[in-house]
Amino acid sequence: MEGRRLPLSNLEKDLYPSYGFTKARILEYYRGIAPFILPHLKDRALTLKRYPEGVERDFFFEKRCPSHHPAWVKTAEVPQEGGEPMTVCMVNDLETLIWAENLASLELHVPLARTGSSQTPDSMVFDLDPGEPANILDCARVALILRDLLSRMGLVGYAKTSGQKGLHVFVPLNRKETTFEDTKTFSKAVAEIMQKHYPDLVTAKMAKQERKAKIFINWSQNDASKTMICVYSLRAREKPYVSFPLEWEELENLAGLGDPERLQVMHSEAVRRAEEKGDLFQEVLVKEQKLPHL
Amino acid sequence: MAVQGIWSGTISFSLVAIPVRLVTAIRPGHISFHLLHSKDYSPLSRRMFCPKEGAMVPADEIIRGYEIVPDKYILMTDEELESVSPERSRTIEILEFIDMKEVDPIYYDHPYYLVPSKGGEKAYQLLVEVMHRTNKAGLAKFVLAEREYLVAVTSKEGALALTTLHYSDEILPDEDISPKKGKIEAEEESRMQKSIEQMIEDFDPGKYADERRKKLVALLEAKAKEKAPVEAPAVAEEEGEGPADLVAALEESMRKVKENR
């Protein structure tokens, strides 16, 4: 690739055994989705979540860039609390993406800030997490209320599936003045107001027992030390679901149909839809918005 | 090396200014541990404790004092501290060129590399080449993280290395270290010299490794395979309203949202 040699290994290994999805097909997926996912990974410290023996076996997180990385993989030194800076890698090109997938890093997690400005989030996020027996349809209801509330506050949000059971709403900021303290204060106040007005549907509390049958609005993801699953990343579930952006109208329609499976987007559909509609998360990278009343 | 660097700016002297980034030359091998509560694996946090009141002290009640004699302090505010801190700077200004052999290794503090930034590659190469040929090091002053350092810039295998140096008043005097001179027997001296000569090798740092670290990594890997890691419990959250203005605006917006649904 581009004159760089990258030996690939174990291409025939089935990493989603109950569905049937080999490493070769995972590489093929990421190659196809690359034009859409790369802008969202660019200049962000990658956390690799590696599944060397497939999604049904053990995985491990790697925040530090593996020391055996090829010389052309872009790295950065990020400061760590009370310690020497840590070397992380950034997926800034197709080669690095393929390299990371060859390491069976099915899931790509990135922080809300870029490495050069690690204390400045470029989005505020609401991570909507359903507590059983609530499901992704309840998440959709909460997301739609959240959209309206944000819109009354003069803010535009963008939704994506988590690729697991929940939804994520991203509010682009892209202003260097905004801090994680700002996004945390704001998102927490929003989560609490949602909980106050929809106490049977929403909780803003982390405690497991509070979350049963409700949607937990996880505002605490708005933190320099946290990462989110990158939009268009595969998830390590029984099937190769993707964290995929949905238009609000689409979410309204799907919520009305009452079938949670219909909200999930799988690998091949993801590439097809992205190619057809373009990057629905494009605005998240560029739209400037200011959090009011802070 | 495709690295981003912990500082970027220019290195300059007389009319030369080359854009560069500073990257660390060392990855420390230290493995650190978190302290956990044995009962439930909660990660423990450090809080400031007042032994007189027997209570934790909130951040806004903590100030700084320099102890001049036991229990007597001179107070220092953040503003006062800042007033003596150097301005952040984007240049490494070379003040003079010296012979690196004259610098006692005791002055060496931390090694870094300087990497050329876009557009600086050619001038960088030239400086590397000339410094290599003249075998000189540039002595410079440089501000990193609110501290001004004395640094030596050297040419090393086609790149520029930067070593922060200790200031001379940081070096302890060695006058009490060496014992009083006594008489040395010529025979003893030649015997010791021979023993040393028998052990002379070329320096090969690759031969040596931190054995404790190697064993520790192996132990961690074995334990990780053997048993799932313990998990920290969720922390009880602080209740509390957000900023009054924001909460009021959210209440008003929420009311309108509900009216329209």
Separation CA B99–CA B55 (nearest Å): 57
| Whether A42 contacts A91, CB under 8 Å | yes
Run of H or E including B104:
none
Q: What is the pLDDT of residue A66?
A: 87
In this complex, the residue of B2, B241, B249 whose CB is nearest that of residue A293 is B249
* Contact residues, chain B to chain A, C-beta under 8 Å: 1-6, 23-24, 27-28, 30, 32, 224, 234-237, 241-243, 245-254, 256-258, 260-261
B143 Cβ contact partners less than 8 Å away, ≥ 6 residues apart: B86, B87, B88, B89, B149
CB of A18 within 8 A of CB of A26?
no
Beta carbons of A76 and B4 less than 8 Å apart: yes
Q: Which residue of A has its CA nearest to B241?
A: A189
Q: Which two tokens stand for residue A263?
A: 């909200």
Of B5, B30, B254, the CB nearest to A77: B5
Contacts of B81 (CB under 8 A, 6+ apart): B64
Please name the member of B24, B27, B251 whose beta carbon is closest to the beta carbon of A193.
B251
Q: What is the pLDDT of residue A2?
A: 61
**Torsion A246-A249-A252-A256 (CA) sign:** negative
Q: Which of the residues A190, A203, A225 would you substitute to probe the B interface, choosing the one with the greatest number of B C-beta atoms within 10 Å?
A: A190
Q: Within a 13 Å sphere around the CA of A35, how many CA atoms are in the beta-carbon half?
A: 10
pLDDT at B237: 58
Q: What is the pLDDT at residue B1?
A: 40
**pLDDT-flagged residues of chain B (< 70):** 1-5, 235-240
CB neighbour burial string for A207-246, b if at least 16 within 10 angstroms, e if fewer? eeeebeebbbbbbbbbbbebbbbbbbbbbbbeebbbbbbb
| pLDDT score, position A7 | 84
Show residues of chain A in contact with B254, CB under 8 Å: 149, 152, 193-194, 197
CA pair distance A211, A214, nearest whole angstrom: 5
- Taking only the tens place, the pLDDT of each residue in A127-137 is 999 999 999 99
d(CA A14, CA A7): 18
Q: Residue A65 CB: number of other CB atoms within 10 A?
A: 19
Contact A152 B256 (CB under 8 A): yes
List CB contacts (< 8 A) between B237 and chain A: 205-207
Best B44, B110, B257, B261 member to test A by mutation, with max A CBs in 10 Å, is B257
Q: Which tokens sit at B98?
A: 């010296």
Which residues in A lie closer than 8 A to residue B258 (C-beta atoms)?
Answer: 197
* Residue contact B247–A188, C-beta within 8 A: no
From chain A, pick out residues whose CB is under 8 angstroms from the CB of B33: none
Instruction: Residue A206: list chain B partners with CB under 8 A.
Output: 234-235, 237
* Identity of the residue in A85, A145, A188 whose CB atom sits nearest the CB atom of B242: A188
Domains of chain B: 9-25+85-170 (2.40.290.10)
Please say whether the beta carbons of A52 and A46 come within 8 A.
no
Contact A207 B236 (CB under 8 A): yes
For residue A207, give the nearest of B224, B234, B251 by CB distance. B234
Structural domains of chain A, ranges and CATH numbers in brackets: 23-117 (no CATH), 123-225+235-286 (3.30.70.3300)
List chain A pLDDT tens, one digit each, 294 residues.
666 778 888 999 999 999 999 999 999 999 999 999 999 999 999 999 999 999 999 898 999 998 888 889 999 988 776 667 788 999 999 999 999 999 999 999 999 999 988 889 999 999 999 999 999 999 999 999 999 999 999 999 999 999 999 999 999 999 989 999 999 999 999 999 999 999 999 999 988 888 999 999 999 999 998 999 999 999 999 999 999 999 999 999 999 888 999 999 999 999 999 999 999 999 999 999 999 988
A87 chain-B contacts, CB cut-off 8 A: 3, 27
**Whether A173 contacts A254, CB under 8 Å:** no
Q: Kindly report the nearest CA distance between residue A121 and chain B, in angstroms.
A: 19
- Across B124-185, the runs of DSSP E, i.e. the strands, are 137-144, 147-156, 159-165
Closest CB from B24, B224, B235 relative to A77: B24
Token pair 């006058």 is found at B175
Residues of B in contact with A192 (CB under 8 A): 241-242
The widest CA-to-CA distance across chain A, in whole angstroms, is: 58
Chain A residues in contact with B243 by the CB 8 A cut-off are 185, 189, 293-294
Segments in chain B forming alpha helices (H): 78-84, 121-134, 186-198, 211-226, 244-260
